Structure 1
């Protein structure tokens, strides 16, 4: 696990937790207990509340990891601090708080592999960068192959990964059994495991910690974070953005970044920009905590299921998006029944575990399963949308790239393959083989 508190020296970090300048730290165990019993009355706020200004240089719509990362890197990397992040609810209340927080970069296309690998690099050092423990844990990532076709795809992905310098290889059932002893690797099962794509750098992270870390970092750099501020319209005149209308008043601005998930088409329609995106629910569930036994993230595209274990011992399960378009975020019995059956195909020993809760989020799916990023035909209106089931993995690199795009008014090379115009030009970036239920 990578833990950071802003210090690059391990020994000084260790000592600094106990004493500062020869004096006991105010955050000692007794102090923390006192704060907890007082219900945190004198805790400093992680980020501040500000009145909304009449104008901002940049307005970012969406207070999840993508929007907050964009704001943070605009301020940190480019010195643009007159920035507002607007969210109709609370920060991290959308897709960033409803995902299963699995990280990987073993995608199918060279463009996708390079992109997600940069995000992994940023995630690995994010705790130190933000001075906030985001609880990144490198576990390794297994994508199982149950038939010859899947195995060919795994070999294809492995070769693309290697060419891009990403650690990824196909392993056989014996090696899989050593990594995950609880997996049913017998050849006599209904869905025999023929092999797997093993990606050692993959892992998990604490999703709310990432949101809080970016929010605190953006606030410290002067960005204004406005919760409970729903956008009702975007003003466009002579082909360029002039302002944003909210339920708390109008904001003048020359740059708007759409970083929403679920409602991305609604926001883009406000600016007169049409996008080929459909929205579907994605459900997940979690079990009671048990003794840690699953060190690796396990994914089966054939069974449409993925599972990992948190540091608290819970098993987190998920599947593919629901087979219909909807804005509903209600769980369903059908999902739980199907999920449980597929999980038990892989790990029969889990039959006695109890499911604690389930939830759903919204996924914006593009035709080629790749995002839409960069400027649009409306001057000053930028999009960072269409993330399907894999947006959280891309949070840091998306923020870094979109900040550069807005600040320089040039599209960074790392996102040059993902413009909105690719659908008219027929230059699709087909990631379905690694993103449909790739988690």
Structure 2
């Protein structure tokens, strides 16, 4: 898949974090002519947050900054398998964001109009069309939280997280990038206001530029240069069921019920929700969030009452106060670049984020996002 090379004592760019943001940035840097790059990860490539994502790709956001950015990333995903010559198993099944109250439907209508104004394929549908698109769903007529409408986003899809990481990593490797798993960064050296290199478990490595793409560990890495980031790390818990015959052909999300659901090509049903309310670096699952996810899923799909949970896991999300990412250079510290604060939206943003950060490193100027 990629070559095993000896770790040199100097590189033009060192990328801390071998997840999807690290390898995508490395790949796009090679397209801009920068090839003297080392990607370092304390574990195996794609083994951190990228291995724990549910990998839903969409662009139906609400802000004028977020919609175009995620739409660009969605378009990059649509052509990624061809560009990388690697099947990322991207299934554009479409998505329904359900509204159960008048206020929720009003919010979905606002999102729909913002999406359409900014060129994103979204439209409102009523309960009948929801049922036509997803026959097994319970419209909850006469019950609490009936389905009053939904935002339908046809280009939304799901992708294999490992295939995306491997595809980007192989593409970066083919462009000359060195990939060094099991190489932990333990410190960052500075000289006269400029990053000079990183201390690793395999020795010191000099670098002109150091990029941190470490998701839930971003504040830990930033602390190595005495930078206090406004980030908190929260677990996000997910579970999947035993394989079932195909019955669900859309991604379903309900903000009121705090759950989203889709079925994989292997028949397993992936169930997730929001981040846990407490800060933690623990990646162990706990009972209460999984119990709540199961209960809310059954409110939408009572037919799943006897289905067994196959496995569950937790990932780490780096949450910023305004739920927006932190991307760019650091004032007063030349050569140090951040791509963090992606929260639970990082995987879907990776191609656009990687391409943007690569342009920043290459030109020294912030690209038009």
TM-score by length of structure 2 reads 0.99
Match of 1:10 in 2: none
Q: Give the SS at the match of 2:50.
A: helix
Match of 2:56 in 1: 102
Among 54, 73, 83, the residue aligned to 2:28: 73
Q: Distance in 2 between matches of 1:125 and 1:211?
A: 15
Match of 1:288 in 2: 242
Among 103, 107, 112, the residue aligned to 1:149: 103
Larger relative contact order (CA 8 Å, sep ≥ 6): 2
1:236-271 Cα distance to aligned partner (Å, 9 max, x none)? 122111111101011111101110111000101112
Q: Is the Cα–Cα contact under 8 Å of residues 191 and 345 in structure 1 kept in the other structure?
A: no
Q: Does 1:299 align with 2:249?
A: no
Q: Is the Cα–Cα contact under 8 Å of residues 309 and 316 in structure 1 kept in the other structure?
A: yes
Q: Distance in 2 between matches of 1:336 and 1:119?
A: 30
Q: Distance in 2 between matches of 1:50 and 1:82?
A: 13
1:306-361 Cα distance to aligned partner (Å, 9 max, x none)? 01110111100001111100000001111221111100001101111111000000
Deviation for aligned residue 1:186 = 3.4
Q: Is the Cα–Cα contact under 8 Å of residues 105 and 116 in structure 1 kept in the other structure?
A: yes
Q: Distance in 2 between matches of 1:148 and 1:180?
A: 22
Match of 1:89 in 2: 43
Match of 1:321 in 2: 275
Q: Give the SS at the match of 2:249.
A: coil
Deviation for aligned residue 1:110 = 1.2
Instruction: Spell out the pairing of 1:338-377 with structure 2 (5 A cutoff).
Output: 338-377=292-331
Q: Is the Cα–Cα contact under 8 Å of residues 271 and 381 in structure 1 kept in the other structure?
A: no
Instruction: Spell out the pairing of 1:136-175 with structure 2 (5 A cutoff).
Output: 136-175=90-129
Among 161, 164, 175, the residue aligned to 1:221: 175
Across the aligned residues of Structure 1 and Structure 2, the Cα RMSD in angstroms comes to 0.8
- Which runs of 4 or more aligned residues in structure 1 lie more than 2 Å from their structure 2 counterparts after TM superposition? none
Deviation for aligned residue 1:298 = 0.3
Match of 2:200 in 1: 246
Q: Distance in 1 between matches of 2:226 and 2:351?
A: 28
Deviation for aligned residue 1:102 = 0.5
Q: Distance in 2 between matches of 1:251 and 1:365?
A: 30
Q: Distance in 2 between matches of 1:183 and 1:239?
A: 58
Deviation for aligned residue 1:184 = 0.8
Match of 2:228 in 1: 274
Match of 2:266 in 1: 312
Question: Which sections of structure 2, spanning at least 5 residues, go unmatched?
Answer: none
Q: Distance in 2 between matches of 1:226 and 1:189?
A: 54
Q: Give the SS at the match of 1:400.
A: helix
Q: Give the SS at the match of 2:357.
A: helix
Q: Distance in 1 between matches of 2:247 and 2:125?
A: 21
Among 378, 391, 408, the residue aligned to 2:363: 408
Q: Does 1:62 align with 2:17?
A: yes
Q: Distance in 1 between matches of 2:211 and 2:106?
A: 39
Aligned residues: 368
Match of 2:339 in 1: 384
TM-score by length of structure 1 reads 0.83
More strand by share: 2
